[in-house]
Every structure is written in C-alpha cells, then in structure tokens.
Structure 1
Amino acid sequence: MKLAKIISWMGVGAMSLALFHGFTAGDFFADGGMILDNPWGIVSMVDLYVGFILFSMWIYFRERSIVISIAWITAMMIFGFLTGSLYVAINLGKSEGDWGKFFMGWRSHDL
C-alpha cells in the first residue's frame, strides 16, 4: 500500500505541474482547437473521458453520500486525473492498510 500512496501523490504532483504549465504557457482554447482538429486528438479525448467516466463510476460506488460523489465526479470532469490521483491518495490514507476498504469504501463491511 505504501507504493500505491507514493504513486498517487506523485500523480498529484505531476498533474499539478502539468496543469500549471498548460495554463501559464499555453492557450486553452487555441490549443484545444488544434487537438480537436486532429483525428488522434479526438481519439485521445474520447479515451480520456471514457477513463474519467469509468473512474467516476468507482467513486460513485464507494461513496456513501451522493453529494460527495457528485462533488468528486464534477472535479474529475474539470481537473481530470489530478482529482483522480488526489482521490486515490486520500482514500489510501483512510483505508488504514485495508485494500478491501480502499476499493469498496463504506461497502467494505459487506465483504
């Protein structure tokens, strides 16, 4: 579990730096337009959002509160895997070394 924590916090750091670089050195709308003009850019965006949706399904499943689920899922759709990395890091910490609790959330008592 320690390795998973390290990797998830590295993801938070990498995504934070990448987003900072993108917003300070790039033009979100102009660069985004170039991505969507490229067929492989479209493939990449579809791939990315399929991943967001699948990850969001896991968030919805493991959270007890619909409000908290919606907040995390909304953040996921806006900030991408910065949110996913943060969600994993936080919940690895809350799981107290129990992988079942990490993956299942409040449903882990059903195991």
Structure 2
Amino acid sequence: MLPVREPSGWPVQEGDRIMRALQLLLAVLALGFAGMIVYAIADGSFSQAGSWLISQPWGQVTLADLYFGFVLSALVIWWFERRLAVALFWILPIPFLGNVWTAIWFILRLPLLRERLTRR
C-alpha cells in the first residue's frame, strides 16, 4: 500500500517532521535574535548607534531593506488572516518589535500557511 501523501507530495508523517523542524528552526533563530537585541540594548546607546547607521550609505540600505521586509511580512499576514482584528494585532507591532514578532507569527501559522498554499 502506498503512503498517504499531502498536497505538497510529502508523505504525511515526513511532512509533519519537516514542519516541526522548520518551526523549531524559526524558534531558535527568533530566540537568538532576541538575545542579540537584549545584548545591543545593554551594551550601548541606541540613539548614537542609530545616528551612525543612518549617516552611512550601507546603513541606509540596510534600514530600507529591513522596512521593505516588514511591509512584505505585513502583506502576507494581511492576506492570510481572515479577521481584521487578528491581522492588525500581528501587523501593527512589526515596526517596533521587528522580525522577532513576525517569526512568532510564522511559527504559529506555518502549518496552516503550508496547507493553504498547497491546496489545489
């Protein structure tokens, strides 16, 4: 008998393992990034570092890239969440909490996101 497959083509149990591994990876990365933020806050002045960053061309490019990523994440969340209040709950903090916040959304929604994207 052939194994049951998901719409993505993966066998169901293997797909579950891959999903859990991706969720774990995102959680580890989010925690590591949150730790880096805490370290940076404890180490120095954000206003001095921010002033230096925006005075440099590559710093400006980095910030533009960061906020472009925030907009892309917000669009994915906007189209994915079915209730306005839930979408706004996840979107509005993004400019302040950054990709740690979007990582939490992806960790929670990854299985459902995959399910919706692989439907035929």
Please tell me the TM-score bracket, short chain as reference. 0.7 to 0.9
1:52 aligns with 2:67: no
Q: What is the rounded CA distance, in whole Å, between the counterparts of 1:22 and 1:65 in structure 2?
A: 36
Matched with 1:81 is 99
Unaligned runs of 5+ in 1: none
Aligned equivalents of 2:94, 2:82: Cα separation in 1 = 18
Runs of 4+ in 1 over 4 A off after TM superposition: none
CA deviation string 1:75-108 (max 9, x = no partner): 2111111011111111136x3xx7224x59xxx7
| TM, length-normalised to structure 1 | 0.81
Spell out the pairing of 1:66-77 with structure 2 (5 A cutoff). Answer: 66-77=84-95
Higher helix share: 1
The size of the alignment, in residue pairs, is: 102
Aligned partner of 1:23: which letter?
A: I
Hey, what's the Cα distance between the residues in 1 that align with 2:63 and 2:77? Answer: 21
Q: Which has the larger radius of gyration?
A: 2
| Identical aligned residues as a percent | 21
Residues 20-48 of structure 1: CA deviation (Å, up to 9, x unaligned): 11111121111111000000000000011
Tell me, yes or no, if structure 1 residue 99 matches structure 2 residue 117: no
Q: Does 1:37 align with 2:55?
A: yes
1:8 to 19, 26, 46: 26
Instruction: Name the amino acid aligned to 2:74.
Output: S
Gaps of 5+ in 2: 1-18
